[in-house]
């Protein structure tokens, strides 16, 4: 496994980051022991960088895995906090539920621009103060926009950016992949640690998985790439891609044929909360003639699963 220094953080991270969203209730909803064992297996293969978020409701998996391995990898988590109280609650929740004294990387979740960063400044100031007290090692943002990466390069105190990068630019809300790469190059020059998300475009690029993986792996400005995994098979295939080795054909084909989709269950009450909170504007309310319910535009959906966190009826599921 290759390791790189994550910008100016002093943290050495594996080139492959385990994106843990897939483990929990918003996606695969694995049994707790099974998810923790997969994290343990990944750590044994050299993956020392795990990405999570308060929104994912999966801290229990990480806590159990940490207990099993007896060590603390570089864990990055995220919060939507706007003010000091929200930021304090998010930090304490992460520390308590993962049983950690120190959070290696804490990010503001889904920032969009310099204006958004200013809107979250009270929370950001709290996280920077917590860093000064030794409760957090590095502070940063996650984002789906070029504008946020550019803003981060100019924002004093930030250490890390987690941005959408894939060869088709799927999921970038305000520009092209070329514009995103230019922003990433600028952020890299400013000393920020950078790691990619949605390498496979939320599943849309699985049929071209090797090309998708190699594209992001070839970007020297990126210190790591986060990939969601929910099985040992997926872990083994991604490790092969990382090593520049073609995975066993039967495994690659099986995963390429595994089509995922967002399903809206029949008991949807059309409250509109998922529509309002979809980062990709892929959800809308539709009148089927029998009832009003949420519906999804597959061409826009990147299968992030975030909508499920806002559904009071638990009717949104990724299959």
pLDDT under 70 in the chain at which residues? 247, 249-260, 288, 309, 312-314, 317-319
Hey, what CATH class is 3-256 in?
alpha beta
Q: Tell me the backbone φ, ψ of residue 149, rounded to 5 degrees.
A: -65, -45
10 Å Cβ neighbour count for 300? 14
The pLDDT value recorded for residue 256 is: 56
Q: What angle do CA 11, 12, 14 make, to 5 degrees?
A: 135
Spelled out in words, what is the top-level CATH class assigned to the domain 262-318? alpha beta
Tell me which residue of 82, 88, 92, 155 sits closest to 121, measured CA to CA.
82
pLDDT per position as a tens digit, 132-162:
999 999 999 999 999 999 999 999 899 999 9
What are the DSSP calls for the chain, one per residue? --EEE-TTS--EEESEEEEGGGGSTTTT---HHHHHHHHHHHHHTT--EEE--GGGT-HHHHHHHHHHHTS--EEEEEE---SHHHHHHHHHHHHHHHT-SSEEEEEEEEE-SHHHHHHTHHHHHHHHHHHHTTSEEEEEEEES-HHHHHHHHHSTT--EEEEE--TT-TT-SSS-HHHHHHHHHHHHHTT-EEEEE-TTGGGTTGGGHHHHHHHHHT-TT-SEEEEE--SHHHHHHHHHHHTT-PPPHHHHHHHHT----EEE-TT-----HHHHH-TT--EEEEE-SS-EEEEE-TTT-----GGGGG-TT--EEE-
Q: What is the pLDDT of residue 34?
A: 97
Residue 4: the pLDDT is 97
pLDDT digits (tens, 9 = 90+) for 4-24: 999 999 999 999 999 999 999
Domain ranges within the chain, ordered by starting residue: 3-256, 262-318
Do 42 and 235 touch, CB atoms closer than 8 A? yes
Position 224 scores a pLDDT of: 97
Q: Residue 293 has what pLDDT?
A: 83
- pLDDT value at residue 159: 97
Give the span between the Cα atoms of 202 and 227, in whole angstroms.
10
Task: Please give the pLDDT value at position 220.
Answer: 94
- Are 107 and 137 contacting, i.e. CB atoms less than 8 angstroms apart? no
């Amino acid at each position: 496994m290759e390791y790189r220094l994550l910008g100016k953080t002093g943290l050495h991270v594996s080139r492959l980051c385990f994106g843990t969203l897939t483990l929990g209730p918003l996606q695969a909803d694995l049994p707790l022991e099974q998810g923790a064992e997969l994290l343990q297996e990944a750590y044994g293969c050299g993956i020392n960088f795990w990405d999570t978020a308060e929104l994912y409701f999966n801290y229990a998996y990480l806590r159990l895995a940490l207990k099993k391995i007896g060590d603390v990898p570089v864990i990055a988590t995220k919060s939507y906090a706007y003010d000091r109280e929200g930021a304090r609650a998010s930090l304490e929740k992460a520390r308590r539920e993962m049983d950690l004294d120190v959070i290696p990387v804490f990010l503001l979740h889904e920032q969009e621009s310099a204006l958004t960063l200013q809107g979250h400044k009270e929370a950001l100031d709290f996280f920077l103060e917590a860093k000064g007290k030794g409760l957090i090692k590095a502070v940063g943002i996650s984002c789906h926009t070029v504008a946020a990466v550019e803003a981060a390069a100019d924002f004093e105190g930030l250490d890390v950016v987690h941005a959408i990068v894939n060869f088709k630019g799927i999921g970038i809300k305000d520009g092209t992949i070329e514009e995103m790469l230019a922003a990433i190059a600028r952020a890299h020059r400013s000393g920020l640690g950078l790691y990619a998300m949605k390498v496979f475009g939320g599943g849309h690029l699985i049929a071209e998985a090797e090309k998708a993986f190699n594209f992001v792996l070839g970007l020297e400005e990126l210190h790591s790439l986060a990939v969601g995994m929910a099985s040992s098979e997926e872990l083994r295939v991604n490790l092969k891609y990382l090593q520049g080795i073609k995975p066993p054909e039967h495994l690659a084909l099986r995963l390429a044929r595994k089509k995922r989709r967002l399903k809206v269950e029949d008991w949807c009450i059309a409250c509109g909360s998922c529509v309002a909170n979809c980062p990709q504007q892929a959800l809308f309310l539709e009148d089927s003639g029998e009832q009003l319910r949420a519906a999804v535009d597959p061409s826009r959906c990147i299968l992030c699963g975030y909508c499920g966190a806002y559904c009071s009826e638990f009717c949104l599921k990724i299959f």
